Chain A
Amino acid sequence: MKNALCGLMALLLALPVLADDLFDHPQTPAGAQAVLRAAMPDLGQIQVLRGRFQQRKYLSEIPQPLTSTGEFLLVRDMGVWWHAQTPIDSAVTLTHGGLVQLDAGTSAQGRTSLHQPGSEFVASVFFALFALDIDTLARSFDLFMTDGGGRWQLGLRPRDASLAAWFQQATISGSERVEHVRLFEAAGDRTEIDLDAAAQPRSSLTPAERQRFAP
């Protein structure tokens, strides 16, 4: 059985990566998991991921994207802290439970709970997406995957019609780490996020950083 699985995996890995559409390649959760573990052997052990991001939001009727840059911090089982530094200073904490909190900058003038229809779902998906939590993602999305030469691309399409009504699809790509996230809204807007991250032990967290994820 194990041999057969290894054989199957070898076969999958050997498939040439075609330049065609990612969404022509459906993948099972187990298959996606296997590909990601092959590319990132430490995926299951990552405790803390720190790095910088650049995000570009392409909105209809604006010629240039809304571009922001800043730092982020992902803590396993706790959430993502997202700190935009340009063009404005603001921070958001996305926790696994789905709550979204927004500080006006790092100076924490006050925390506001964002309560938009669907925001809790979005927060949990966003977190799952960064943590590459395939089980959570597979609950709501059909998975698609291509890989080759140490690089992989994961595609997500909502299974639920009410979600698909505004969220069309997402692609995540990378090699040893998640590098690019692309979110496509049904209305035509899209968001591109480039990440540059490094894994760190949990002991690297300062008390102030822990506090950000406190309920």
Chain B
Amino acid sequence: MAALVLFYALRVAPVLRIDTDIMALLPGAADRTAAAQQRHSDALGRKLLFLVGAADPQLAREAAQQLASRLRAAHVFTAVSLEATVGAADLALYRNHRFGLLSDAQRRLLSQAGGAQRLRVQTLAALYGPGVMPRALPVAQDPLNLLGNFLGQQVAALGAVRPDHGMLMLTQAGVSYVLVGAEIGSDPFSVDTQDRVMPVVDAAVAQARSAGAQVIPAGVILHATQAARRARTEINLVGTLSMVGVALMILLTFRSLRPLLLNVLVLGSGALAALTLCQLVFGRVTLIALVFGSGLIGVAADYSTHFLADQFRNPAGWTPRQALRHVGPSIAMGMGCAVLGYLSLGLTPLPGLRQMAVFSAAGLVVACCGVLCWFPVLGPPARRGEPLPLRWAVRLDRLLGRLGDRHTRSATWALAALAVLGVAGVRFADDVRLLYAVPEPLRAADSRVRELLQSVPDSQFLVVQGASPEAVLQAEERLREGLDAVVASGGLGSYRAVTRGLPSAQRQQENHALLAAQVYRPGGIGPQLMDELGFPPALSAQRLAEFAAAPPPLAVEQWLADAVSMPYRDLWLGADANGYAAIVSLSGIQDFAALRTLSGQVPGVQFVDQVAAVSDLLGHYRRLALLLLAAAYVLIGGAMALRYGIADAAQLLMAPLGAALLTAGVLGACGTLNLFHVLGLFLVLGLGVDYAVFLREGAASRAATVLAITLSTVGAVLSYGLLAFSATPFIRAIGLTLLIGVGFTYLLALLLQRPPAGTIHREAS
């Protein structure tokens, strides 16, 4: 025990990582696409953005500057972005390769019959148009402003923000907003990251607000922090309340401090062992495993109460050593069955469920060994007299017995009918969004940011894959033709794609060929236009010479290494063993079907809907967990049959099974069920098996056993019943299932497992 504590304190506690992300439950990236998606969503998750607004744009800019410098000064962000300068010097790479770059509109125009002349007229009209327009290159160097149009196509993808005063700004309803971005270098779900980042964010935001600006922050870490804080508060509250309740109960029953301390010792070592093993095996502990595991501690507490309650069998001559002989086998049997049930969870490929399996098995085994090894030595001597809880439990048992004797048949039928009806009415809902309870202020801020920026990427996106970078770019260009059509029909707000900034080599060559045929040849619209505008012929000749000496197409590596690729770099996923991939991020999706169809039409393109995928996965694992639950019942039934014979095993299983069915029925009547309700049913199974085995093994000492399971039920209701009021939906699901399940289990166990006539409460009366 001391070694365990020491090991935990030195090696585990410093690196212990508790994950509030539901995604942590799910399997990690299985293939390359998934890995690519993972990188993409990881990158999104590490981004934070702030819209700093004020009616006076100058105030907004100053506040944004202060906010940015505060964030920078804290050194917790890998990048803080405020400045947005589009300097002409940055465009050198595009200038050099401009003879292969065309905007979609101009490329289409040039490939149409008569299009070149229309382009010439448009260009003239623009030149004779009012005032001045910024140009990427002077008229003499790029008379048709081809590069300007190519770049213009990229600005459209920025959404509502515009470079203004060296920052990215937008104006809505008379309020000017400045966009400030920040990036964290580590996992937003880690408590350590949250503790480092959030105080800085809160202080900087408060400062800007006190300066009179409005600040709308957005980012995954805000959600993660809220969820973690809420979960921690709840677990602390529930933990404290249930501990106090259980402690009172133990003191009231055994009227001595020693049982309480022994309980703490056993449960503590079980929990420590479970945490340590999980951290060692998985490198992290998910919140869900923790919640599930803390429920399991309740099962482990059964062992000690069962052991200690044995003293009421025969208070006069009882010693802890006797108890070992008497209840040892039933405790070991209960533990064996429960571990068997939980280990079946480990058969899934779902890391979250595996963690629960490891956590539960380790906790149960250690707690059980603790009870069996230490209690006989350290256990307290029996106390005289009957404590109140014993009398209550016995009275309840008698009441149930009378009820059962009189109406056994009708009650059984009624319950069975109820269970069947209930279970038939069960509906499942696996939508992952139902599992995220976003606090209202955060939800409001998020939708405000979406509305203001107009180009916040949706969680769905497209992945384009290919054997080479060129293949990826070509596939993406084919895809974009379809995407443009979806945008035009209103099915999509906008999208970001690498080929907006870097056309494929093939496309660049096509562009070059178009220019050679229509623009940069003697008599083409290039020389024609320059002549019309009055440029000396020597300049036209110079343009033609430059065109003839154009460098080879711009390549991916070259482009990635240059500043011009900055707005797209996050989309380029690069290479791995199987090929290359890029992401096309989507904003404002209206028509999902059109996008799915489109992705089916272009080879190498995949529409990724993570929300739907995760929901599907949750559904898949919910079905798997249901099957495993059935398997666990069969396994446990088998183990029981070995010891008690088939008929008795079937009778023993009736209480846990009936309780599970009734619980599912009640839950189904209240709403839809999901994976976490099924996990709750696993815990119900664990408790139900304990109750059934204890009652069977302890038939000779009914009162003591009834007391033990009553104490266990009260403890369970105290600990998980409170979880049913959690604001975190999946915790609530587990808590509610347990609350209802434990109640049914207790009642059914007492009702269905009557002792042989004549042995009832012999010892207690």
Contact = CB atoms under 8 A, between A and B. Distances in A.
A124 B138 CA distance: 23
Given A115-B152, A165-B87, A121 B125 contact: no
B85 interface: yes
A173 B174 CA distance: 29
A119 interface: yes
Contacts of A122: 131-134
B533 A62 contact: yes
- 5 shortest interchain CB distances as A-B pairs: A90-B125, A160-B165, A68-B128, A118-B134, A82-B130
Interface in A96-127: 102, 104, 112, 114-122, 126
B148 A116 contact: yes
Contact of A62 (B149, B162, B535): B535
A92 to B, nearest CB: 5
B152 A102 contact: no
A104 B125 contact: yes
A162 B534 contact: no
Interface in A142-201: 159-163, 165-167, 181, 183, 185, 187, 189, 191, 193
Interface of B: 57, 85-88, 121-122, 124-136, 138-140, 145, 148-149, 151-153, 155-156, 162-166, 533-536, 539
A189 B138 CA distance: 9
A14 B115 CA distance: 59
5 contacts: A55-B128, A61-B138, A104-B121, A159-B165, A189-B138
Contact of B130 (A80, A116, A165): A80
Contacts of A102: 122, 125-126, 129
A60 interface: yes
A13 to B, nearest CB: 29
A116 B121 CA distance: 17
Nearest to A84: B128
B162 A162 contact: no
A92 B534 CA distance: 24
A37 interface: no
B151 A162 contact: no
A20 to B, nearest CB: 26
Contacts of A116: 133-135, 145, 148-149, 151-152, 155
Contacts of B156: 115
Nearest to A70: B128
A183 B130 CA distance: 11
Given A80-B130, A193-B130, A162 B86 contact: yes
Counting chain A CB atoms within 10 Å of each CB, the highest count among B122, B129, B151, B165 belongs to: B129
Contacts of B148: 116-117
A62 B538 CA distance: 12
A209 B165 CA distance: 35
B134 A167 contact: yes
Contacts of B138: 59-61, 187, 189
A88 interface: yes
Contacts of B122: 102, 104, 112
A139 interface: yes
Interface of A: 55, 57, 59-64, 66, 68, 72, 80, 82, 84, 87-88, 90, 92, 94, 102, 104, 112, 114-122, 126, 139-140, 159-163, 165-167, 181, 183, 185, 187, 189, 191, 193
B166 to A, nearest CB: 5
Nearest to A166: B134
Contact of B129 (A60, A92, A167): A92
Nearest to A117: B155
Contacts of A185: 132
Contacts of A66: 127-128, 533-534
Contacts of A167: 132, 134
A138 B140 CA distance: 33
Contacts of B166: 160-162
Given A160-B165, A181-B131, 5 more contacts: A55-B128, A59-B138, A64-B534, A90-B125, A116-B133
A68 B156 CA distance: 30
A120 to B, nearest CB: 7
Contact of A88 (B121, B139, B163): B121
Nearest to B128: A68
Given A66-B128, A161-B166, A162-B87, A119 B121 contact: no
A63 B534 contact: yes
Contact of B128 (A88, A115, A139, A165): A88
B175 to A, nearest CB: 13
Contacts of A183: 131-132
A88 B539 CA distance: 23
A92 B133 CA distance: 13
B152 A117 contact: yes
Nearest to A130: B130
B306 to A, nearest CB: 76
Contact of B535 (A61, A80, A165): A61
Given A104-B125, A162-B85, A165-B87, A121 B132 contact: no
A57 B125 CA distance: 13
Nearest to B539: A61
A98 to B, nearest CB: 9
A207 B101 CA distance: 42
A57 to B, nearest CB: 7
Nearest to A69: B128
A165 B122 CA distance: 26
A184 B346 CA distance: 74
A166 to B, nearest CB: 5
Contacts of B163: 118, 162
A162 B165 CA distance: 7
A94 to B, nearest CB: 7
B651 to A, nearest CB: 78
